[in-house]
Structure 1
Amino acid sequence: MKQIYFLLIGIFLIGTSAILIKPDIQSQSTKRVIDVEQLSVSDVLLMLGDDTLIHHIQQVDPELVKMGEDLVLNGYTERNGKKSKRISKHFVCTDCHNLTREFDDITSENAAERLRYAKANDIPFLPASTFWGIYNRTSFYNKDYVKKYGDLVVNARDSLYNATQVCAKYCSSGRYLEQWELDAVMQYFKSLELKIKDLGLDANTLKNLRKMGKLKQAEKEDLIAKIKGAYIHKYDATFLETMPREQRKYGEGGDPANGEMIYEESCMYCHANARLTYLSLGKNKLDGRMFWNNRTSYRDQSLYQIVRHGTYSKPGRRQYMPLYTEEKMSDEQLNDLMAYLKQLAEK
């Protein structure tokens, strides 16, 4: 399998270099220039001799990519001239997942850095990890997700296929994907994979990548390590308990501007005009007071409770609120949110 893949990569490189030939007027010769930064991380790792990913896709199928995109964005697509069955009547993937970069430093999972990037790039601040680069990851439903999903995560941790099925069936209150749907979603994930240009590698590393065919094995292994060290391979999930009353600051010392961003891009992302749920939220005094008046409680109306525990799907109301892990919303950010809601309640 690997030999066939290397043969195809070789053909690809020959074709690419032929396209990118640049004339050298001074020497009356030609130089073959390969824009290595445009190559996918997974392809380059294979060229250097690394192992294939379990979910490795050898060839991209544009038609399947489009169908996968439809499934992710809409929960259904068109196949053989007919609309497919919805994956879920309640959610689509983008209710919890972004499709773009979420950090300047893509080795990070720091909540403050994630919020800064969201503010600077006008993207939602969601409870799940982005699909951008998910193809390059090797571990899923990590750490504390076992507390919520139990044995379901055992076979999902090391398999993007199985992780996607758990998400489709349980996280979206939907159903398992049919094989053709799973294939299409995997193709779409492949289209969102990291490229070398995304890694911020130094000039010397890029120089060595451009001549990788001439490198010794030890040098190739060094490049593999540098590439793999430049992006995250799994996102952790630390579940926090509801903060005890005596530890709550109720917004004191918090940043209301950060809190407003979180309210808009987290809370209202789902609750504005009751888009996904019975509870409609807006930037008004009434909603601010609802949260502020419940600030000391341990009920779902308290942000200290609902953010850390979410709610559960149940018969008659399959929509639920996912919890925010420490990596997705820190206690400091929760205090920022309370600082903003205090201002909103006092309008």
Structure 2
Amino acid sequence: MTAVKDILVQKIQESGPMNVAEYMETCLYHNEHGYYMSQTPFGTEGDFVTAPEISQIFGEMLGAWVADTWIKLGRPQSWQLLEAGPGNGTLMKDMLRTLKYALPECYEGAAITLLEISPMLKIKQRDNLLDHHICWANSLDDVNFDLPTIVVGNELLDAFPVRQFTKVADQQYREKLITYKDGQLQWHNSENTTNLPFNSEIVETSDAMESFLCKLKDKLTNGVALFIDYGDHATGDSLQAIEKHQKVDIFHKPGLSDLTAHVNFDNVRRVLGADRTSFAEPMGQFLNSIGLPMRAAALLERAEPSQKAEIEQATYRLMHPEQMGQTFKAIAYRTDNSYDVAGLYFESQPKSHAA
């Protein structure tokens, strides 16, 4: 039995069955034993690999996207680059290297903020970003939004806890709960029904994600936020546990495996407001629009033979529909509709003009 499982069992015995969000919150974010607070989740040594770990080209292209967005914000002398959920700091490192080389004026005026709650990951980020002046924030309330701000969140939204509901009649659902019986954590449906405006057999909602997005929308008064994550426009049972790059049972080693759920991008647009939020674009199309194939071709021209296969494989994994290119989506929120956002399009902007 893991330390987190002991905590879960005690909570259930004291308060009764818990919902999935409570389970995820405890497993992932318990201040001492939670997965993100005590484990090393990222990279080949961890439980999963994110896009920045696949190739530096991903971070370089997002760095170029940030530079383009900074120009569209009017080239502010002082501005803030905020990464929410920065992992090991790899993405920020690649973005800053690109900004420093391609647009020194942009780099020199940037206040760099990392939104991170994990003490272990803060250490890794610090070690990875020694060449840059970095500030950390534990929550959006700790971030100063007085400056024009560009927000980047890669695989952030999927880490927010979700609740799950099972359909029993039209728009009538019972919440899926977790109990402890016969020495095991088990599924248990609530006795009461809940009215939800859906018809799917299983519905997932994330109060935590919606709260985060609402607060960001309230605080971000001048800037753009970009989120890249896996998900779609539908709802359903997407909850999964990952350990050592393999899916495992949800109740397998609580606190020692990652728990995630697909992002419902329709909900993201609804919360942020469809008038200021782009449509969710498949990541492969987004990366194509901002020039990743051209960057890959330039790298291939001067690469050693041993490096060419790595570049080609990374491009394939990031962009191909059967890899990350379709499952992952990019979506942006802007505080001002007077400019476009590279690679994405909005209701007020024809798709052919998104650049």
TM range (shorter): under 0.3
More strand by share: 2
More helix by share: 1
> Under a length normalisation based on structure 2, what TM-score does the superposition of the two structures give?
0.27
> Under a length normalisation based on structure 1, what TM-score does the superposition of the two structures give?
0.27
